[in-house]
Copies of this chain bind each other. A is one copy, B any other.
């Protein structure tokens, strides 16, 4: 299958390139960027020299639709809502990695403070939380955000089973700095970031509404969650510690059994053994989402630890997983390598 990547010069686009390049059923037909044109992609990323060369091509929707069967948009928020339309209209497989199609019109305009895509397009988009998609016939996927992926995968079994007190859910999520993208800012300036940890956008992160929207699909009683986002001095990763109060007494064993069953047959979610919590580094550069948990009988509180790589399972990897599902490829195609460690 031939595919095109729009937004190839950002970290998300680069990760698509890395993973698709070794995908057994995919050929990268063209790379595109709104911020650069005609230069070879290796100009931006010297590590690609001799491994992968391709000049950025003009974003000509007609031509892209002729040459490729699928298109990935890895553009900053506010770009795909317009740029994706011709590809959707052309009936291509479209996977948008930005937030542009994750919310309702009102939700988007409130949380992103920008005009939303037309309703007709918003409605066509299927939210691509790969493990919990209900069908595989969608051709237009809105790929979840990194925080949302970790949070939803961590909460799904509990929420679907109505096991936790609805207003008790707290997500304490920490992100590596690559989540801020490729553009330097004060928040990514090494002397300020190194040896530091900061909390930002408390209860205000734009991934909250997409989380809420999905939680409410699963459990209509959930009105709100508490959601904190912090930056830790690592390049990659989301480490989410999630707390929720059990409605009834339970045990760690029971909960682990539930999670194992819930994710049975889901190759990228690995439930840890009892008393074992995943480390961030054990999923770096992979599409895995590793989950450990415990129940505290004294407080009736469940703690769930979820780790993903924000650029893989939280972006490019899940996008490819979604392509695999759409295209009828093996779900793990292109994603079944041993990741780099340490």
Contacts and interface: CB of A to CB of B under 8 A. Distances in A.
A280 interface: yes
Interface in A263-293: 267, 270, 276-286, 288, 290, 292
A197 interface: yes
A224 interface: yes
Number of copies: 4
A303 B226 contact: yes
A189 to B, nearest CB: 4
A294 interface: yes
Interface in A39-82: 45-52
Contacts of A338: 17-18, 21-22, 47-48, 51-52
A185 B170 CA distance: 32
A235 B190 contact: yes
Contacts of A197: 174, 232, 234, 237, 239, 279-280, 307
A46 B278 contact: yes
Interface string A227-238: 010101111110
A151 interface: no
A46 B282 contact: yes
A234 B195 contact: yes
Interface stretch (A101-109, A133-141, A198-206): A198-206
B46 A279 contact: yes
